[in-house]
Structure 1
Amino acid sequence: MHIAEHQIEVRYAETDQMGVVYHANYLVWMELGRTQLIRELGFEYAQMEADGILSPVIDIQVSYKTPVRYGQVAIIKTWIESYDGIRVVYGYEIFNGNQDLAVTGQSSHVCVKKESFRPISIKRLFPDWHEAYEKNKKPV
């Protein structure tokens, strides 16, 4: 199982009046984590889009444990929680500047044709991605 790490220097604009990261920003950070993971596996999501395929979020779960604050460096860890050839579930852990677990989460995605939004088989259309996801997903 491959776990990608991405660091974010928390900007003032990402926080609320209390200096705590606003809850919706963690979703943006999860996207950065997914992009990093995909890149580390040797692929580019932008190329998939150029090929007419999108990967929308169909479900997302986030659990907030402790705050991340302005001035800290957050660490996003991302992995493939599960994969079945059509649906991908990514797992996330975000740590604050004290290395405390701040957020856990999962997002589920399917790949669809851009023009019709009909699901496609990653296994059939992107066999290299399929192989990399099978090889690097979390063991059952």
Structure 2
Amino acid sequence: MHIAEKKIEVRYAETDQMGVVYHANYIIWMELGRTQLIKDLGFNYAEMEADGIISPVLDIQASYKKPMHYGETAIVKTWIEKYDGLRVTYGYEILTESGIVSVTGTSMHVCVKKDSFRPILIKRVYPEWHEAYEQSKK
């Protein structure tokens, strides 16, 4: 199983009036982690989108454990939790630099044709991605 890591410096604009990272920003960080994982596997979303394929979120879940603050560095760990050739579920852990878990979560995606929103089989359209996902999943 491959686990991608992405470091993110917490910016002031990502915090709320309580001085902690606003909850929705963790979802954005999950996207950055997912993009890093795909890059680590040798692919990128931009090329897929240029082919007219997009990957919308079907479901997303986040459990908040410990708030992060401005000036800290978040480490986003991302892996393929489940993959069936059509849907992919990514797993996430967002940690402090000292290794304390701040957020855990998952997001489920499917690839669809941009113009019709009809699902595609990754195995058929992107056999290299399919193989990389099969080899990398949990």
Normalised by the length of structure 1, the TM-score is: 0.97
1:72–1:97 contact (8 Å) kept in structure 2:
yes
Q: Which runs of 5+ in 1 are unaligned?
A: none
TM-score by length of 2: 0.99
Letter in 2 for 1:17: Q
| SS of match in other structure, 1:117 | coil
- Which residue matches 1:126? 126
Farther-moved stretch of structure 1 (95-104 vs 116-125) = 95-104
Q: How far apart are the structure 1 equivalents of 2:98 and 2:47? A: 36
Alpha-carbon shift at residue 96 of structure 1 (Å): 1.8
- Tell me which residue corresponds to 1:86: 86
Q: How many residues align?
A: 138
In structure 2, the partner of 1:67 is 67
The separation in 1 between residues aligned to 2:129 and 2:59, in whole angstroms, is 21
Aligned-pair identity in percent equals 73
- Across the aligned residues of Structure 1 and Structure 2, the Cα RMSD in angstroms comes to 0.6
Distance in 1, matches of 2:37 and 2:97, equals 21
The runs of at least 4 consecutive aligned structure 1 residues that moved more than 6 Å come to none
How far apart, in 2, do the equivalents of 1:73 and 1:49 lie? 30
Matched residue SS, 1:36: helix
Structure 2: 5+ residue stretches without partners: none
Deviation at 1:98, TM superposition (A): 3.3
Provide the C-alpha distance between the structure 2 equivalents of 1:24 and 1:123, rounded to a whole number of angstroms. 32
Counterpart in the other structure of 1:108: 108
Report the equivalent of 2:135: 135
Checking the alignment, whether the CA contact within 8 Å between 1:68 and 1:97 is kept in structure 2 is: no
SS for the counterpart of 1:25 is helix
Correspondence for 1:117: 117
Q: Deviations over 1:76-103 (max 9, x none)?
A: 0000001000000000000024321000
